[in-house]
Chain A
Amino acid sequence: MSTPKSKPKGTGTPTAPGTGTDTATVMGAFDPLRDQLTQAAREFGGDVVSGVLTGLVDDVDRALREELEIFPVCHHSPASALAMVRRLREKQPKVIYLELCEDLQPLLTELRNCRLPVAVQAFATEIDGFPASWAPLSVVAPITEASAEYQAISYALETPGVELVLVDRSTDHVFQWAPKEEPAKKEHAEEPGLHGDAVGVEIGDLRPRFAELEEHLLHHGKVRHWSEWWDQYVEQPLAGADYDTYRQVMVLIGSLFRHLDRDADRLAVDEDRERYMWTRMREHLSASGADPADCLYVCGAFHAASRVEQFGLASTATYEISPRTGTKWLYGLIPSSHSAIEAQFGLASGSVSIAAASWAKSLTRGRLTPFRLTGQKGAPAGRKGGAPGKKGGAAGRKGGEPAGSVPPDDELVGPDLRRDAPRGEVTDRLSGFLSKPPALDEMDEAELLGWSVDIVRLARRNGYLASTADAIAVFETSILLAGMRNRARPTPYDFQDAAVTCIEKDSVPGRRDVRRLCEILLGGDRVGEVGYDALPPLARDVYDRLEPLGLDLEKRTIQRALLDLNADPHLAPCSDLLWMLRYLLPSDAVRPIMGERRLGERSIQESWDVAFGKHQRSIIELGYEGVTIEQVLEQRLRRAAWDPKATAAVALAAVEDAVLFLGSWRFADELGQRAVELLASERSVDDAPEVLRRIRRLMAYYRAHEPELPAWCEEFATSGYAQYCTLLPTAFVADDAGVRQVAAMLGFLFSMESLAISLGCDRAQLELAVQQSHPEAPSKVALLWAARSHLGLLSRAELRERCDELLANPLVVPSFPLYIIGFVQAMEPVPALTGFVVEVISKAFGRLPDRVLLPWLPKLITVLRDQAGELVPVLVREAGRTFPGTLDAVDAWVPPWSARPAPAASAPAAVAASGPVAELLLGHPASCDAVAGLLGCEGSWQAPSPGGSLHREAAALLTAHPDPALAVAALLT
């Protein structure tokens, strides 16, 4: 890929902001802290430590002094969301810059039609400028309700006059800046979940990128995982903090992780993103003329501590944004879930749910009204069970004001605090924060009590012998555990430990253990849903067309659809659509329970298991490929047939699918023509059995349903005839062409022969090809003999003689079984040989020595099963005809090939036909003589034997059983 990577262009800006003179001039607020940290660094470490520690303070100082107000956030952090709600109400900005891929902007308004969490997705299959192996490209940005970005989006979209500007690099740049050597979708391949294998982007990714640092924090924080550490040391102390403290702490953390980042490549990408964002913001400000005081820049805390030269509105450093590649991006919303988010971003299981629960609680406690998009589905957070969800929203709108733009909460802010509250002189809130242990919330006894009671109830429902005493014990243990871990209030994690201690005994009675039950209790997994209006046209079309089935397709359960196509013929289009979806979607999205669709067959009744709710993402992603299902299917079939690796068998399969699902003759003809091309250019015969099976089926179908064969079929027969004739001699000797493949070629040649010859092919070509074939492998030799016998080049007697010779020759006997395998395969092209195959196998069983026969028998069975499954019934039927049916008869039985009647020269005379036909021909011999003369046959007329020869068989039957005839005669007379 040759897209030039964007490079910053320094334009002589004196220094990187914050590192030099600018902070020196504005020193003041953070001086004592800086001094203290420098002092500490001097005591414990060297210059590096000192640089890091003072750098942290510098970063905070710089971010807070920036003219454009920077709002640092962390993803899925209720504290960020709360601070955002408060700040938006205070400041009421006119422009919000958001760290999210700029090309996703048009989608955001569709969020109102969805139930969160959903993910905004950019998707590309037609890629240009990236390695082909990366396709399809997919980027998702999940959005949950308890997030600062959702609050900002809702505020901006619901408040008139507010502009929301996404400023981060486009999804195209996400891949442009990705390392080229590794596939872009490596990380989450094993965790497909709801997001598939998309690359996740999120606003405010904030986590140590230095494994030792994280380990250290977890160890000393005495917590198990990162989410718990974050909750205890940042989330809770900041939940009720004032805005200054919030900002300073967040920037400090971002700066710390930035200083200790060892992943240079990733940092370089992040810096490019920062340059990108600042460039975009400056462009927007100059174009729109907005007052920076009315703007708010929402970005991850990591980026708030940026040290790139483009940082700040005052900077004049330019940055050239590289153009996007020619990749065609498509956009949509797909459902997401808490567990999918946790899996994609490596969060602890249950942490997003816990964040959602604590967001809801903080809202209630702080009596805050969150911003919310009009028409948003799902109960609003903070009103759990109370339910003024949609109703509340509607009531709000009735008042003439959008649901989100509620006037500022009076208790939070007075009018004088508006606008420039944080922009005055910066005061140091960090020193206080850093010098104290985290100030945690007061104990919320009622909440803990509720949890304790609920977990016991839930445990009992899951088979535990839990009682009220356990609820008391869980409550008490939670408090004790929290106390031991230096927490005034038990966190959900303490509660979980306490519940496990008190309720879990020596075994788990049901499917879920107590730990899992706690996760369910604290919110469980919430799965989002994309509403009908936000679906792409294709998905909407599918939902509309399946409406006659009367199913609620938005449900996440599996639903059963019953289609009686005789009674309700109007359901036939639904059936067609379901079959197409069956072809296109994952196998468990639409599953037929009864009914099937094959060439020439239609079901009278069908029943289907439909799980659209669960597979909504797949349907939405189909929408990126076309506007209707038919179009997508056509494209898929076309792509399959025109794939560089496609073979004739693949093209024939596509023809079959086109006939089955689309019923389009034109398209089937086009694909058929492609199959002809592919067959003519093939040099391998590996697919011959598949080709034969498919073309036979298609021809049978066309003969039964159409007045004549389509032109491509005829062409396929002739070009196949010529092609296989050409390849036959090579295939007979080549090691890589198996017996089955050669048999299938012969099958094609013999069964298409009449059609091909009628279309102008020459049989001599086939005869020559057979004569040119000189196989060495015994099985192929047998196959060749069979072919020669079919062509009349070898009589049955000669064939029998050759086989007998083989059996009589002790040197060849060990390889005789291979000949048999060849003969068995020959039943496909030469069905008339079946009787002879039975004969050969019978002789082999009778005459082969045990040491050859017994080891070979299992092989015969496996070969028959794997390669000639469809031939076994034919063989068995023939054997049944040949061998006696009862045990007694076996003793007296003489095999038909042994009891061959001696050829009698006079026999033809004895069997001269008699009857009206013979009489007619005898009476008018001229025409027969003329035909015989033309064909070059010689012979003479024989007179039918007089008398008894007339209907000899009938006469014999009547003589043996005269009663019915006599009875009929009696009736008639």
Chain B
Amino acid sequence: MSDDMLRAPAEVKYAEELDYLESIDDSPKPFSWRLSPRMIRLFVLGSERSDGLDREIPQKWFGDRSFVERSIVTLASDRGLLLIGDPGTGKSWLAELLSAAICRNSTLVVQGTAGTTEDHIKYSWNVSMVIAKGQSRESMIPSPIMTAMETGVIGRFEELTRSTSDVQDALISILSEKYVSIPELDDDNIVFAQPGFSIIATANSRDRGVNDLSSALKRRFNFVRIPVVTNKKSEAEIVRFRTEELLRRHQIELDVPPTLLDILLQSFADLRSAAASATSDDEKLESALSTAEQIGVLEDAILHSNFFGDRTLRAQTLASSLVGSLARRSPEDLAILNKYWHGVVEPRSKKDGGEWPEFLEGGRSAIATLS
């Protein structure tokens, strides 16, 4: 089935692994969970020799083990889980993996936007059916969250802080009473949550202050803060892992030279430290410089080389892709990149050589084109 999809959800993509883990899992499982907490941890963080498994389970999410443990444990309690962190730190990916491992369904997702209404969280009506047959359970359209309640699985709420406060507060009763009442119906008008239901929400810490969560809602969530990955080794792992996946998805056969990967990681590390020492917003790039953005830059460069180049990833392409992705504001971002290119990349290309001179050239011409 995953072959027919542009991007298969985690439970489909890793179905085989999940089946295997379920078959060997003899530990107690909370509620109606498909896997025990330890197996879920193993699924997310990968196996080691000492786990004594017949097959290797690759690591899928890179980060501190305690974050995963705390997240799983929260879902086993009666609180919702709120993953909070900078954009691109892997919050949604972790949420997807957890849902897939716990209930084999990660698609019950509500996307929080300024236009999200309470209907998206609770239920809405099929108007034509209501006209034809009147209001009934049949003519009701349950939201993903309500479906999750009915089936006792995990519901996901992406970008919780993007939706308005009244919509957010609709979650309070769902999380505390664990039912939704449907006053329009005379009978069968309450949907109770089945055991195993919980909510994983994600929130962007850069959106703080837009629609702050109410204290009542905060109380019903456990917060797990996911930091930006600054460890170069794990970052390289993440980028490699995700890029391979992308290449597979696009059916592209192209090698990413390790030297170019190093250049990419080094550039991001430099730009991050520059942003950390900046004193005003004008002195730092608008981008959060997350790992996801690195992957974006690399993907862009790969696609460009594949379709418009000679099917070899070159430093020049990588540089122009990096400039193109990070220069969002003109002239602020361009000025910062110009400063970086001439203050850091140029000396480095003289000192280290390798692919750096080509990277320097590519960046220069990209900045010149955009200026």
Interface residues of A (CB under 8 A from B): 220, 222, 224, 465, 467, 469-470, 473, 476-477, 480-481, 483-485, 497-498, 500-502, 504-506
Contacts and interface: CB of A to CB of B under 8 A. Distances in A.
B205 A484 contact: no
B70 A481 contact: yes
A538 to B, nearest CB: 49
B41 A484 contact: yes
A351 B205 CA distance: 32
Nearest 6 interchain pairs by C-beta: A480-B73, A501-B70, A484-B37, A501-B222, A505-B218, A505-B223
A242 B208 CA distance: 56
A224 B76 CA distance: 23
A465 B74 contact: no
Contacts of A222: 65
A502 B79 contact: yes
A485 B41 CA distance: 10
A495 to B, nearest CB: 12
Contacts, number: 60
A502 B70 CA distance: 9
A497 B218 contact: no
Contacts of B70: 477, 481, 497-498, 500-501
A497 B68 CA distance: 12
A470 B50 CA distance: 36
B219 A467 contact: yes
A463 to B, nearest CB: 12
Contacts of A497: 66, 69-70
Nearest to B66: A497
Interface in B30-74: 37-38, 41, 48, 50, 65-66, 69-70, 72-74
5 contacts: A469-B219, A473-B77, A502-B222, A506-B213, A506-B225
Given A477-B222, A506-B205, 10 more contacts: A220-B48, A465-B215, A473-B222, A480-B76, A480-B77, A483-B37, A485-B69, A500-B70, A502-B79, A506-B208
B50 A506 contact: no
A736 B162 CA distance: 69
Contacts of A500: 70
Contacts of A484: 37-38, 41, 69, 72-73
A222 B218 CA distance: 30
B301 interface: no
Given A465-B219, A484-B41, A477 B74 contact: yes
Nearest to A483: B37
A484 B70 CA distance: 10
A289 to B, nearest CB: 54
Interface string B190-208: 0000000000000101001
B41 A465 contact: no
A481 B205 contact: no
Contacts of A506: 84, 203, 205, 208, 213, 218, 223, 225
B224 interface: yes
Contacts of B213: 506
Please indicate which of the listed interface residues A484, A485, A497, A504 has the most CB atoms of chain B within 10 Å of its own CB. A484
B137 to A, nearest CB: 33
B66 A224 contact: yes
Contact of B73 (A467, A469, A477, A505): A477
A504 B223 contact: yes
Contacts of A480: 37, 73, 76-77
Nearest to B69: A484
Please indicate which of the listed interface residues A224, A497, A500, A501 has the most CB atoms of chain B within 10 Å of its own CB. A501
A889 B69 CA distance: 86
B254 to A, nearest CB: 34
Contacts of A501: 70, 73-74, 222-224
Nearest to A486: B38
A469 B48 CA distance: 37
A477 B205 CA distance: 24
A920 B319 CA distance: 105
Given A224-B66, A484-B38, A485-B69, A476 B219 contact: no
Please indicate which of the listed interface residues A477, A485, A498, A506 has the most CB atoms of chain B within 10 Å of its own CB. A506
Contacts of B37: 480, 483-484
A476 B77 contact: yes
Contacts of A502: 79, 222
A239 B69 CA distance: 27
Contacts of B76: 480
Contacts of B84: 506
B204 to A, nearest CB: 11
B72 A477 contact: no
B184 to A, nearest CB: 32
A481 B69 CA distance: 7
A933 to B, nearest CB: 82
A501 B80 CA distance: 11
A341 to B, nearest CB: 26
A628 B292 CA distance: 68
Interface string B202-232: 0101001000010100110011110000000
A635 to B, nearest CB: 48
A506 B85 CA distance: 9
A685 B303 CA distance: 74
A469 B79 CA distance: 10
Interface string B19-39: 000000000000000000110
Nearest to A479: B73
A469 to B, nearest CB: 7
Nearest to B224: A501
A220 B50 contact: yes
Contacts of B205: 506
Nearest to B205: A506
B48 to A, nearest CB: 8
Nearest to B75: A480
A596 B231 CA distance: 54
A481 B73 contact: yes
Nearest to B176: A469
B55 to A, nearest CB: 20
Nearest to A222: B65
A229 to B, nearest CB: 14
Contacts of B208: 506
Nearest to B50: A220
B77 A477 contact: yes
A821 to B, nearest CB: 38
Nearest to B49: A220
Contacts of A220: 48, 50
Contacts of B65: 222
B30 to A, nearest CB: 8
A470 B205 CA distance: 23
Interface in B66-100: 66, 69-70, 72-74, 76-77, 79, 84
Contacts of B223: 501, 504-506
Contacts of B73: 477, 480-481, 484, 498, 501
Contact of A465 (B48, B79, B218): B218
Contacts of A505: 218, 223
Contacts of A477: 70, 73-74, 77, 222
Contacts of A473: 77, 79, 222
Contacts of B77: 473, 476-477, 480
A523 B122 CA distance: 47
Contacts of B48: 220
Contacts of B219: 465, 467, 469-470
A506 B222 CA distance: 10
Contacts of B218: 465, 505-506
A220 B50 CA distance: 8
Contacts of A470: 219
B347 to A, nearest CB: 31
A531 to B, nearest CB: 43
A482 to B, nearest CB: 10
Contacts of B222: 473, 477, 501-502
A493 to B, nearest CB: 10
Please indicate which of the listed interface residues A465, A480, A504 has the most CB atoms of chain B within 10 Å of its own CB. A480
A507 to B, nearest CB: 8
